[in-house]
Structure formats: C-alpha cells, structure tokens
Amino acid sequence: MALQSVIDDLAKRPGTGEVIPVIDPATEEQITEFRDAGPEAVDEAVARAKAAYQSGVWTDIPARQRAKVLWKLGDLIDEHAKEFAELESLDAGMPPAQAEMIVSTCAEFFRYYAGWCTKINGNSYQVQMEGGVNSTHANFHAYTHKEPYGVVGLIYPWNGPLFNACAKVAPALAASCSSVVKPAEETPLSAVLLEKLIAQAGVPDGVTNFVIGYGATAGAAITAHPDVEKVAFTGSTEVGKQIMRNSADNLKKVTLELGGKSPVLIYDDADLDMAIMMASMGIFVHSGQGCVCGSRVFVQRSVYERVVAGIAMIGDNLVLGGPKDEGAMISPLVSQKQLDRVMGYIDQGRKDGVEIVSGGYRLDRKGYFIKPTVVTGVDPATSRLYREEIFGPVVTILPFDDDDEAVAMANDTSYGLAATAWTTNLARAHNLGKRLQAGMVGLNCQLTFDHNVPFGGYKQSGLGKEFGYEGIDAYLKTKSIWAAL
C-alpha cells in the first residue's frame, strides 16, 4: 500500500468531531487532516467488538489456528516494513534508520505471542479438607481456568506509534479478546495500515476495531464504556490517573504503562567511555521522547567533570534533523505543544539559576528541534526541571560520594520506571539491582528490551506489566473450579 493511499484513507475516515490536522514535526507542514471519531464511533466499535466476542468467531477457533493468524500478521508487517518505517518517519519525525530499527521489532510481537496461544493453561490443586459438609473428610480436585477479559480498550501514545500498538494488539489477540484500539491523535498513520493488515491476516471482522480521535473524546469514551472490561493504556501518569478514575464505575481492570524520570548511576570504576556514550544516547535518542530515557544522571564525584563534559560533547555533536535531512541522527519533538512544554522547563530552570552546560535552545529552522541540553546545579528538593518528567532532550547531572547517597537520590522520585547502574564491581551492581526502586534495572546496559522480558514500572510509573507471559496474562482472568471427588 503506497504512502499516499494510507494518508488518503485516514482523511476519508468517518467522524463526527473536530477536524484534526496531522503535522510533519520536521517541517511543520500539514500532511493531512481527519475528523475526530468521537464517542459515537466508540459506541459502534464497542458494539462490534462485543458481537464478535460473543459470536465466538475468534475465541472458539482452535488455539493453533489463532497462532497461525498472528504469525501471518507478523509476516505481513515484515513485508510492509518499508512503508511502516516511512509512515513513522513522516508522522513522528524519526530518522529512517531509527524507524526501520523500531519497525523490525514490531512483527516479532505477533510471532512471540503466537507461541503463547497454545500455552494458556491454569494450575491444578489436590485439596483435602477435614469436616466437609457431608462427611468428615472430603477430597477435591480444584483447577484454575484462564478466560479472556472480553472487550478491551487499548490506548497508546505518539512516541513509538506502531511499537505501542503491536505491544497491545498482539497479546490481546493471543488471549482471544476483542478490542477497541485508539492511537494518539498526533500520529495516526501507521494504525491505518496496521488495521488493513490485521484483516488481511485473517482476524475476523469486529475483533480488532480502530477509532482515531482525541483522548478527551474517543479515549475517554472507551474508558467510561460499560461494555469494556479492561483498559490497557500507555501514556502520561496524569492521564493514567484519569483513566483509573474513569474506569471506576464498572471496576474495569487497568494496565498502565506511564511516565518516568529514570536515574542513571555512573561509578568511577565503570567503563566510562561506554557509560558516557550510553547515558547520552539514553536521553537524547528520539529527542528524549522515550518513557525509559535516563533524564537524571548521578556521577561519582571523582569522575563527575569528565562525565559532564563527555555527555555535553556528544549532545553538541549529534546531528538533528528529519527523515529527509542527510545524516540526521536525532528526530524533532512531536509537536509545537511538546516543544513549548520542553522549552518551558528549560526557561524555568534558567530562572531557578541552574547551569545550562550545553544546548538549551530551539534550532533556528523549521521543525520542532531542541538542541540536546545538559543541566547541572539543580536543587533536587525544589527544581521542577529535575523532579518532573519533561519528555524532551534534557538531562540533569549531579555528583554523589557513596552508594547510599546515590541510591537515596535515585529513589527520591514519585516515578519508578527504569534505572541504570554503570560499575565493574559485580557485587555492587547486583546490590543496586535490588536497591533501585524501578520496574526495570539495567546493570552496565541501557535501553535494552526483549519481547520475552516483562516491561513496566513501579510507583507512579505504572500498574501491571507488558511483554512476556505477564503481557498475555494481563488480558486473562482466572477462574477457580472445584470438583468434589
């Protein structure tokens, strides 16, 4: 499917709400526009999903048949990898190589979860009780049975649109749920192609339904809908809390993958060149618009100056640009709103008296580009720039003297998504693995992920896990069945 036909299809989608423009963040030019699907479209999509679920058209087919459809979908995504990468580049401003790398991991979600389709099992228990109702001694065979939630709502953000879609659609399909899927209004293009491939792979009509619109309209309608049994959400902590509140009426189950303010600890015994490179890429890649980006770096005092200078130098030398700019390594921010938000934090930092070691300004060109920014001299107790998630290319660096101080500073946050420690002291590394309060800890590695390894945050960074077995279990409920023997 050519790029232009995806763009045209988006513009033709029916909708009842406001017209939403789709902007190329690297040029600020409008790509197309579409109508907000609105709450009516959500009602229709939920009704379709419910009918499909109740008909058994997906739930009742043999698990190995479902697995084949998921596998085929993975292959179709691979076949269309070039178009997906172009769409992600256009929509989110990603350099082509980065978009291709991310798209290459997307098909794998379907192959990985295809494997789980035939392995959804419960446990069995042999129970003996004294003083049963009809006898003094009773035996039971009890077992757990896993059942899909039914209709689920899947809501995801703009920072990695296809990746976020696949991370939810694949386990929901494998668990044989029906779903209503809402991409971010800023980056809807890849969803249009994915929707087509889902049908082409053989997923029956009504099982996976995309609605494209604003969070406050389409998103809120999904979370409030009485026929939606569960919502899986990736996005900001603030909206995550709204979703929990909105889901309370019918006690929807929720899985939340939220924001972060992830710490990176660099010790003087670390491979410093590697640590400096990875700490730099760990915040500047995709202009810091990654939930696991390491936005707070703590450095042992003896190597503090060297690490600050190293990260600033790398930031200064990274080439910013859009998909059409030769040699571009770092994408723009997604929107004017996001650019204003990030510049707001930098300006506030200046007023608070922080030191901007490098960057700190918008590029003098079209597109939402902010130079990678290194900040020192923050007051950890009061600085908003230090304490709040910025979701931009801004890193604060502070020195520490010993393990206890480093751990205390790292954990002094309401977030708990990811943490990293760079040290060649093996015992210290593993101790930090336990002491750092985050759902994912990297020891001498950063930005690592695999479909098989659970992903998700502690504290206000989330609820529940994606990926791995936990990822499919999040779409299943557990029933206990008792049989008297």
Residues acting as catalytic residues: 257
Q: How far is the CB of 111 from ligand NAD (least distance, A)?
A: 21
Helix or strand or coil: residue 223?
Answer: helix
Indicate the residue whose CB is closest to ligand NAD: 215
Residue closer to ligand NAD by CB (options 52, 418) is: 418
Contact set with ligand NAD (CB under 6 A): 155-159, 182, 184-185, 214-216, 219-220, 223, 234-236, 239, 242-243, 257-260, 291, 389, 391, 417, 457, 462
| Assigned token pair, 420 | 């990293």
Residue 123 Cβ vs ligand NAD, minimum distance, rounded to whole Å: 29
CB of 114: closest distance to ligand NAD in angstroms?
A: 22
Residue with smaller CB distance to ligand NAD, 40 or 405 = 40
Question: How far is CA 174 from each of CA 203, 285, 453, rounded to the nearest angstrom?
Answer: 11, 32, 17
Instruction: Tell me whether residue 180 or residue 220 sits nearer to ligand NAD (CB atom).
Output: 220
Residue with smaller CB distance to ligand NAD, 69 or 281: 281
Those residues with Cβ within 8 angstroms of residue 155's Cβ, 6 or more apart along the chain or in another chain: 181, 182, 215, 219, 222, 223, 231, 232, 233, 234, 235, 243
CA nearest 97: which of 314, 319, 327?
A: 327
CB of 295 to ligand NAD, least distance (A): 10
| CB-nearer residue toward ligand NAD: 196 or 459 | 459
C-alpha span between 332 and 92 (Å, rounded): 8
Residue 229 beta carbon to ligand NAD: minimum distance, rounded to whole angstroms:
16
CA-nearest of 437, 106, 468 to 260 is 437
Q: Which residues contact 138 (CB under 8 A, 6 or more apart)?
A: 128, 129, 132, 484, 485
- Please tell me what DSSP assigns to residue 359: -
Closest distance of CB 112 from ligand NAD, Å: 17
Q: At 391, list the tokens.
A: 């979701």
Q: Tokens at residue 381, please?
A: 């107790």
Q: Are 262 and 417 in contact (CB under 8 A)?
A: yes
Cβ closest to ligand NAD, residue 195 vs residue 403:
195
Three-point CA angle 14, 20, 22, nearest 5°: 110
